[in-house]
Structure 1
Amino acid sequence: MRKLAELIVNNRKLLMVIFIAAAIGSAIMSSHVEVVQELTDYLPEDTETRQGVDLMDAEFTTFGTAKVMISNVTYEEAKDIVEQLKDIKGVSAVDFYEESDEDETEITDGEELSDYYKNLSALLSITFDTPEDDPEAQGAIKDVREALADYDTWFYTTVDKDDNASLQEDIKVILVIAVFIIIAVLWFTSGTYMEIAIFMLVFAMAALLNMGTNFIFGKISFVTNAVASILQLAMAIDYAIILFHRFMEEKAHTDTKEALIRALEKGIVEISSSSLTTMSGMVALMFMHFGIGLDLGRVMVKAILLSMLSVFGFMPGLIMMFNRQIDNTMHKSFVPKIEFWGKIVVAVRKFTVPVFVVMIFVCGYLSNTSTYAYDQSSVESAKMNEYMTSKREISKNFDLDNLMAIVVPAGDYDSEAAILSEIQEIDNVASATGLANVTVDDDEQYVLTDRLTPQELADVTDMDIDTIRLLYRFYAWKEEKYGAFLNSIDEFKIPLISMVDFIYGEEENETFDFDEDLSQDIKDMHKTLSDAREQLEGDNYHRMLFTISGPVEGEETFATIDKVRDIAQKYYHEVYVVGDSTSDYDLSKSFTQDNMIITILTALFVALILLFTFKNYSLPLILVVTIQTSIFINFTLPAIQGVHMYFLSYLIVSSIQMGATIDYAIVITNRYIDLRKTITDKREAVVKTLDQSFATIITSGSIMTSAGFVVGQTTSNPVIASLGTTLGKGTLTSIVLVMLILPQLLYMFDGIIAKTYYKSKLSLENLSKLRAEAAGEEGQKA
């Protein structure tokens, strides 16, 4: 370590040039990192939702849609608005209530009308001509917004919803606030003002390197992209603080260069060891079945490693460069003495420790009874975006559709018709649509896939029967159906889909000269059919759509999905039921397993690291139990409040809380053990431990707590907000237990700790005596 430290310090200028060049390269490469917006992309490859989504992307076109609620309008005004919106380029259809002749005088009394107009509010369902990411759809939704600018409107749509852009704006604000909080904390706990600037430069370097090197993964999730820098700042700034404080301690006894070498010699090992527990939590995330764990875990492991490299390689150059400024900005620490707190901790141990033991079991049980939300739209944040606000406001008056899809192999319309018929009989299925049940006449007698005779087609289209017969003969000749000529053409049946395609094609080729009205009718019918086929018919698969009434997730919804799947599997061996609800269903099934994996692996990794760190059998158990109980308490609060916790918050925060906040427990434990080597009074050792550790814990802990709460209160993305708030509460809980319960456990189990060191049979008391004797011998020699 001495040679490595000398190498770093002697080559500090070269290292700074290398880091600056790497930072410039990272800034350039960061723009090449793709940010994935859909969490479904991280579902395991073998899940039904992932396979179904991939098939739908390859086989079908999904047109953009929007739900728009217009408040404080009359029914007549709403009808006029509908006609106005239909004329906007790019708008395919505007669905609103259409009254029949019988109920025109009672338009406000019908039950059906209440699905579209209620409480002076009108709900319009808009379909666009193109997919939502198409520029035409983007332009159309912009025109719709402009047309409705004078009305009270609520837009529930993803057509112009840019989560990444909105999130990046939030993150900029969060980082600014976080930086101010960190500066305030460091100002309070620092010994020289210049160290604050050095810390921020080191962090900026580490964060930039991490963002730029994400290109090696090709793409990262919006979750990782949003929280990685914040977590890196909160978890890794400790490394810079540790090294600098070491430097200042050594500088009191030697010159600047030698002090820096000694600080690195000791700090490299100390910081590397400290980082292992943090990385262990991130590594545990990588074992999740849900791919978001691997995505976040590997980026954060890289972030921690790059933070350490920045501290070891970039920070020494800064310290030497600003050595004079460090000396000139020295000041007295503002951290107060808290010896009174240590005395209180020892005094109340007989009350608080039994309470703690009870809380282990009670909170452990309650945290497992928490209910979880698996759908992003089911989680609300302190700052609501337009999408979530519109959903909440529209839901006060109308039921929002929960649209699902069934994907099956192509070619069997009869089976599709049977499936659709059975699905419509399920209680909470509001509607079911496929090519096999799209009606084409007012009497709803025929559907698109029916085979019709010339007379039946004439009845549907109001075309002349002789013209239809001629078309049928021409179709039979072109398709080489010569049997139709031998028998009566009136008995020849052709699928309506095929006939519409045929007539449109021949009309376009000018084979027939239809009158203008008939030609327009043919074009309209073909466009309607083409739109339906793009959405419902692929080269190898067909898609059927159905809507479920009620919530997006929950036992009833998941049971309905199982019923739909069972029905479809009676007719097909290959079936995919796809939608937000199936995604939530898949996530709910993997949650229990992922939770178990993360909990066990994180605790195991941390315990092993602590075992080798302290070379003691009892200390890992004491520390892990302390932090694990803080995790239980953190996740007991939602259970008590009856709030649904977002599942990803639980999985990610539980690993971060164990991996990162265990460092606070290590600080307390290390300090206590060191003091017990020279102090025989356990009470005095606890008092001094808390007093001497307070600055370190308050610095690191307050930064992570503040970062979590700032994220939770500032971003409008419900997933990120939930992660932030949960992390803030968890860190605060860990600080309380580390500053209250852990010292009491060290005090009470002091004797056991002394007897459970491996590689040494020396108790702490004996070691204290030996140290005293050694000190006496040194005095005699002097």
Structure 2
Amino acid sequence: MCIIILMFASHSWIEPFLYLAVIGVSILLNMGSNIVFPSISFITHAMAAVLQLAISMDYSLFICHRYTEERSNGLEPLPAVLAAAKKSVKSISASSTTTIAGFLALIFMQYSIGADIGLVLAKGILISYLTVLILMPLLLYSCRNLIEKSKHRQFLPSFKKFGHSVVKLRYLIIALVLIVAIPSFLAQRNNAYLYGDTSGSSGAGEYAQQRQRIDDLFGTTNPVMLLVPNTDLNGEIALCAALKASPLIKNVTALVTVADPAIPREFLPQAVRDNFLSQDYSRIIVNLTAKEESPESYGAVEFIESAVQKYYPDKWLAAGTATSMADIKSTVETDNLIVSIFSLAAVGIIILLTFRSLTLPILLVAVIQIAIWINMGVPYFTGSSLVFIGYLVIKSLQLGATIDYAILLTNRYMDFRLQHLPREAAALALRASGGSVLTSALILSLAGYAEGLMSKIDAISTIGMLLGRGAALSGILVLTLLPVLLTVFDPIIMSTTLGTKLIRHKEKRSA
């Protein structure tokens, strides 16, 4: 499928094979260099190659399309290759740096899989960036004759009429985006997430089948084990009584509930004592009435923790699926905030330094952030639950992977603004970069959907589906909303961007 899309996007039958050769080398180098890590997760290993291919394919497209453009302007192959590399390096550098920053944001997660995914993908993008800048110009020049002989007409539609239509309907586009974005923002804050022991595995696999057979035979249980100091008998009795009184708890099993507390413990059989006592702790088993993943289960865990904290302040331990899920839920919520802040700030700073503008980082990040809100709002409206790993990493993945589209279009807009007025510059930028954006978005979207549909691992499937839909949404908004924002906010952009003094002076003279 990737080759078919590249065939439609290219100007020569040989170009797609050059793209795949460069990216193939990058993927092999990235996979081989994973030896520097002690280990990587199976989730990272399963999706790293596909994501690296889909995300970094843009860089080869940028150079090749620039090369074709320079050749169309009359340059010979060698000057055209040099000009294409020189003019593309700004977009490629900004795109790769922002992508790397988005992935590196994942290392700030307390949940270790974030660092695992972030480091492997960030390393992959860096390798792709260097490989494309070094190898792609060499291949273009070496295969210049094959490229010329295998030329074909452009299959992608022209964006000339589309660009003018977008500019003409700019206020309608803003209104429609706001109508969709506001409910999506509210919806994505209320999604239901899965944190349990099947969230990273297949819900239809052998584990799930065996688990269902056990539940059918013995009934569903949701136990929590407490370890409390064994030196306070009265506290243990009071704690067990408080736990049993709660409607959230089915039963409580402890030494004080299976044997009369009035009997000295040394008189009890050794086998009984071994089941509940250790040198320092006494074990209490609490069975909850609620299922493992439910609001009632989280409420029960909160009640248990507050009760045991009352009798044994900071001297107790808890274990069980319910308590683990509650801990993961708390960690995920904190991680999400940290990762979101870092990724947005890092990407914004890189765009600021690239374009030397105070306004452009806000506009570009806002476009992709709206696409993320819409993407994350879809599960709420469809009534489906998300595996928490997908929720954790998709925001940084989508931001890092699709900000490239916005950078490319904005770079062309700023180029055309040197000679044209805002509306015309926006239309020309769409015409020049629309094909590259469309191709990149299609490749990443199809790669994500393929990963999501083919994988039997829920975590990988969730990430794939979210990334596939997110890439499509980002591509649509970059091709529609971003040109409108660049046009509407052009006076502010020109006033807050270094190097635009000549443009402003020229427009004042013409006025």
**TM-score category, normalised to shorter length:** 0.7 to 0.9
Q: Does 1:554 align with 2:375?
A: no
Letter in 1 for 2:391: Y
Deviation at 1:734, TM superposition (A): 1.3
**Residues of 2 paired with 1:245 and 1:318: CA distance?**
14
Letter in 1 for 2:484: Q
CA RMSD of aligned residues (A): 3.6
**Residues of 1 paired with 2:438 and 2:45: CA distance?**
27
Q: Does 1:343 align with 2:83?
A: no
Aligned residue number for residue 103 of structure 2:
282
**Residues of 2 paired with 1:572 and 1:677: CA distance?**
68
Cα shift readout 1:657-710 (whole Å, capped 9, x = no counterpart): 222212211222222232232234x44433333222221011110111112211
Tell whether the 8 Å contact from 1:408 to 1:541 is kept in structure 2 after alignment: yes
Q: 1:315 to 1:751 in 2, by over 3 A?
A: closer
Letter in 1 for 2:415: D
Aligned residue number for residue 299 of structure 1:
120
Greater Cα offset, 597-606 or 354-363: 354-363
User: Which of 411, 433, 452 is residue 693 of structure 1 equivalent to?
Assistant: 433
Map of 1:78-117 to 2, 5 A cutoff?
none
Aligned residue number for residue 175 of structure 2:
354
Tell whether the 8 Å contact from 2:445 to 2:471 is kept in structure 1 after alignment: yes
Q: 1:705 to 1:376 in 2, by over 3 A?
A: farther
Q: How many residues align?
A: 508
Aligned residue number for residue 471 of structure 2:
731
**Residues of 2 paired with 1:639 and 1:322: CA distance?**
50
Q: Does 1:233 align with 2:53?
A: yes
Cα shift readout 1:244-272 (whole Å, capped 9, x = no counterpart): 33444456655555554444444444422
Letter in 1 for 2:344: A
How high is the sequence identity, in percent, across the aligned residues?
31
Q: Does 1:370 align with 2:111?
A: no
What is the SS of the residue equivalent to 2:501? coil
User: Which of 412, 415, 422 is residue 671 of structure 1 equivalent to?
Assistant: 412
Map of 1:530-541 to 2, 5 A cutoff?
none
Deviation at 1:399, TM superposition (A): 4.9
Aligned residue number for residue 601 of structure 1:
342
Tell whether the 8 Å contact from 1:561 to 1:577 is kept in structure 2 after alignment: no
Q: 1:305 to 1:347 in 2, by over 3 A?
A: same
User: Which of 305, 324, 338 is residue 583 of structure 1 equivalent to?
Assistant: 324
TM-score when scaled to structure 2?
0.86
Q: Does 1:614 align with 2:355?
A: yes
Deviation at 1:767, TM superposition (A): 6.9
User: Which of 399, 402, 425 is residue 222 of structure 2 equivalent to?
Assistant: 402
Letter in 1 for 2:156: V
Q: 1:239 to 1:769 in 2, by over 3 A?
A: farther
What is the SS of the residue equivalent to 2:225? strand
**Residues of 2 paired with 1:538 and 1:304: CA distance?**
52
Map of 1:340-739 to 2, 5 A cutoff?
340-375=161-196, 377=198, 384-388=204-208, 399-408=219-228, 423-433=243-253, 436=255, 495-497=268-270, 543-569=283-309, 570-571=311-312, 573-680=314-421, 682-739=422-479
Greater Cα offset, 540-549 or 277-286: 540-549
Aligned residue number for residue 215 of structure 1:
35
**Residues of 1 paired with 2:501 and 2:89: CA distance?**
29
**Residues of 2 paired with 1:190 and 1:287: CA distance?**
39
Q: Bigger radius of gyration, 1 or 2?
A: 1
Aligned residue number for residue 244 of structure 1:
64
Q: 1:328 to 1:404 in 2, by over 3 A?
A: farther
Unpaired segments ≥5 residues, structure 1:
1-180, 440-444, 453-492, 501-528, 771-782
**Residues of 2 paired with 1:266 and 1:693: CA distance?**
14
Aligned residue number for residue 495 of structure 2:
755
What is the SS of the residue equivalent to 1:356? helix
Tell whether the 8 Å contact from 2:368 to 2:403 is kept in structure 1 after alignment: yes
Tell whether the 8 Å contact from 1:450 to 1:496 is kept in structure 2 after alignment: no
Tell whether the 8 Å contact from 1:622 to 1:745 is kept in structure 2 after alignment: yes
Deviation at 1:359, TM superposition (A): 4.3
Deviation at 1:389, TM superposition (A): 5.6
If each structure's helix is expressed as a fraction of its own residues, which one has the higher value?
A: 2
**Residues of 2 paired with 1:589 and 1:329: CA distance?**
57
TM-score when scaled to structure 1?
0.58
Q: Does 1:185 align with 2:5?
A: yes
Q: 1:418 to 1:212 in 2, by over 3 A?
A: farther
Tell whether the 8 Å contact from 2:413 to 2:426 is kept in structure 1 after alignment: yes
Q: 1:351 to 1:314 in 2, by over 3 A?
A: closer
Letter in 2 for 1:214: N
Tell whether the 8 Å contact from 1:202 to 1:311 is kept in structure 2 after alignment: yes
Deviation at 1:184, TM superposition (A): 1.4
What is the SS of the residue equivalent to 2:287? strand
Aligned residue number for residue 16 of structure 2:
196
**Residues of 2 paired with 1:727 and 1:751: CA distance?**
34
Q: 1:610 to 1:354 in 2, by over 3 A?
A: same
What is the SS of the residue equivalent to 2:110? coil
**Residues of 2 paired with 1:239 and 1:621: CA distance?**
23
Q: 1:696 to 1:394 in 2, by over 3 A?
A: farther
Deviation at 1:304, TM superposition (A): 0.9
Q: 1:547 to 1:609 in 2, by over 3 A?
A: same
Q: 1:743 to 1:638 in 2, by over 3 A?
A: same
Tell whether the 8 Å contact from 1:709 to 1:728 is kept in structure 2 after alignment: yes
**Residues of 2 paired with 1:396 and 1:656: CA distance?**
40
**Residues of 2 paired with 1:606 and 1:573: CA distance?**
41
Letter in 2 for 1:187: M
Cα shift readout 1:203-244 (whole Å, capped 9, x = no counterpart): 222222222322323122333223222221221111222233
Deviation at 1:412, TM superposition (A): 7.8
**Residues of 1 paired with 2:209 and 2:107: CA distance?**
34
Letter in 2 for 1:624: V
Deviation at 1:640, TM superposition (A): 2.5
**Residues of 2 paired with 1:409 and 1:214: CA distance?**
45
**Residues of 2 paired with 1:537 and 1:214: CA distance?**
46
Q: 1:757 to 1:397 in 2, by over 3 A?
A: same
Q: 1:365 to 1:762 in 2, by over 3 A?
A: farther
What is the SS of the residue equivalent to 1:188? helix
Deviation at 1:275, TM superposition (A): 1.0
Tell whether the 8 Å contact from 1:676 to 1:764 is kept in structure 2 after alignment: no
Letter in 2 for 1:303: G
Letter in 2 for 1:738: V
**Residues of 2 paired with 1:217 and 1:209: CA distance?**
14
Deviation at 1:313, TM superposition (A): 3.7
Aligned residue number for residue 162 of structure 1:
none
Q: 1:549 to 1:314 in 2, by over 3 A?
A: farther
**Relative contact order, higher structure (CA 8 A, sep 6+):** 2
Tell whether the 8 Å contact from 1:210 to 1:303 is kept in structure 2 after alignment: yes
Letter in 1 for 2:164: K
Q: 1:609 to 1:446 in 2, by over 3 A?
A: same
Q: 1:692 to 1:251 in 2, by over 3 A?
A: closer
